[in-house]
Chains A and B, each alone.
Chain A
Amino acid sequence: METESHIVAYKTLGLVLGALLVLTAVTVGASYIDLGWMNVWIALMIASTKAGLVLVVFMHMKFEGRAVVWSFVSTVLFLAIMIGFIFWDVAFR
């Protein structure tokens, strides 16, 4: 069985860590501004960006083959569809 290892440079890891901290600060800052219906979408977009960074760099998704990447993408897509379908209910109640 083959095992592969990838070493990410400390500089890259540090930059990603910095980006995550900055985005956390942005999340907190955004919570103090009332943007109406965009409140939820902005919070979700920031959180998704952070999750994406963790996945791609910290969890080595960028080194994986197509099967794993597509498995992951389809998982996210599926979750989005599932959450979206609940809106058929909530939005039209």
Chain B
Amino acid sequence: MEVVKSFFETPEPARFTGIWSWLFTLDHKRIGLMYLYAIMFWFLVAVLLGGILRLELMFPGETVLSADLYNSAFTLHGVIMIFLFIIPALPAVFGNFFLPIHIGTDDVYFPKLNLLSWYLYMAGGVVAIFSLFSDGFADTGWTFYVPFSISTNTNVSTAVFAAFILGFSSMLTGLNFITTVHKMRDKAMGWLQIPLFTWSLYATAWVQLLATPVVTITLVLVMMERFFNVGLFDPARGGDPILYQHLFWMYSHPAVYIMILPGMGVISEIIPVFARKSIFGYKAIVASSLAIAIAGSLVWAHHMYTSGMSDTAVFVFSLLTFVVAIPSAIKVFSWVATLYKGAIQMTPPLFLSLCFIYLFSVGGLTGLVLGAAGANIHVHDTHFVVAHFHFTMFGGTGFAFFAALHYWWPKMFGRMYDFTKAYIAAILVTGGFMFHYVPMFILGLQGMPRRYYDYLPQYAGGNFFAGFGALFMILGIGLMMANLFASLRKKRDMESNPWGGVTLEWTIPSPPPLHNFVQKPKIMVYPYDFSGIVDTPANKSEGA
């Protein structure tokens, strides 16, 4: 392939140089990387906060955090992880970078809107930080439940406003992706020739666009309640506190699918490449992405079984919750079936993907425990919920993010990381994860409530072990990031297709040029046809 300048050397617009060429860039790849740096920063901050929370819980009584500080710390941990890391992580970083390439085009449909989304994301983060230094960060948890969020003296309004701004960033990204897929897809690419990661982004974008306005307006209502005492959620004035929960979860449950769907898309990309085999059930995976997006938007009230809503609603939402497990299971079956009799080549991205499948399956199955109304009432608001949520969101989306980083890193930066360190880090994170969250399932079943800085003596053992797990996990994350970023010191000499992938990003140079394609992309009849792949350069470049 002829040598072409990468997007690192060709700013867009061309008149800007240095830092300005990044801050004013309209190139989807640079915007993706700007998200990456910002998201990594917030992720590490939230990991640190999570570590401090676990340190507090490692021993009974007050150790490193007071009760009030603990409340603010877990709220901040949740707000950062949800709104600044998990929701934007995969769509904003890898979606921005790879969606246009996957569909054979040179950018997203609205490049300026794309940059605005990044600025809104940054503004949301700055406002969240600002709220820390004015009357203290909210102590409500990331759910901002009324009536407490209306009556507490901490700075709920600013924290809520931060989430409001971040909501706009998410909506604009979703709008951009939907329009791009419809309007800018290569004319030779039919709907059933689109790579599965892009399909998952498309399904996610619809949820972002439809559900996010609900929570943004709900958060505005919370502010109105705080400033003007409107009475929307106050029964004494004819309001309904359960209405807040409906409105909040109407977004926030679909939001977990905003978080997990792109993760599933990443795994659907990685598994066939390293199994050297066409993905099993392409159409079923596409259909299940859409089914998850639709059905997942109709199960929100399973968070509210103990809120006092009607038994009829409990029955309906419990039933629907079981329905949404079906498309998720279809994906897991398809991934495992893809691996079956494949010529498996173990690499760090595949290893992390396998960890994803295991952890997400545990998370999904424990979700059914919570979806069943009877069982839910016993473990509601206990550490069982904390463990389930982290198994799906961290074991799921978090591990998919790690897998995506390791899979697309050589394409984005043109450099390969050290495989041995990558494996050690992945084992540390996964082992630490299990050690950290499995005790929480047991603690939850024993009745330990969540969101308390202290506990009864019988819970001491489990919390002590969970703290150790957290330590290993944090060490693993640190090693993983250090290993990836250490590779940036190497010479940029990565070939275009180190893994032997077949989607369009592997047909262009690493890193890609400004307009992605030097020649008109050749669209394959089927996007996962590995019959033309005979060599696997990753083996040669391993640890290089």
Contacts and interface: CB of A to CB of B under 8 A. Distances in A.
A82 B301 contact: no
Contact of B311 (A67, A79, A86, A92): A92
B316 A85 contact: yes
Interface string B304-318: 000001111100110
Nearest to B243: A86
A75 B298 contact: no
Interface in B309-358: 309-313, 316-317
Interface residues of B, number: 20
A60 B500 CA distance: 46
Interface in A64-87: 67, 71, 75, 78-79, 81-82, 85-86
B250 A82 contact: yes
B210 A78 contact: yes
Given A75-B210, A78-B297, A89-B309, A67 B182 contact: yes
B246 interface: yes
B310 A93 contact: yes
Contacts of A71: 178
Contact of B298 (A85, A89, A91): A85
Contact of A86 (B178, B246, B297): B246
B191 to A, nearest CB: 11
A61 B244 CA distance: 33
Contact of B297 (A82, A91, A92): A82
Interface in A8-57: none
Contacts of A78: 210, 297
B123 interface: no
Interface of A: 1, 67, 71, 75, 78-79, 81-82, 85-86, 88-93
22 contacts: A1-B183, A67-B182, A75-B209, A75-B210, A78-B210, A78-B297, A79-B210, A82-B298, A85-B301, A85-B313, A86-B243, A86-B246, A88-B310, A88-B316, A88-B317, A89-B246, A91-B310, A91-B312, A92-B310, A92-B313, A93-B309, A93-B310
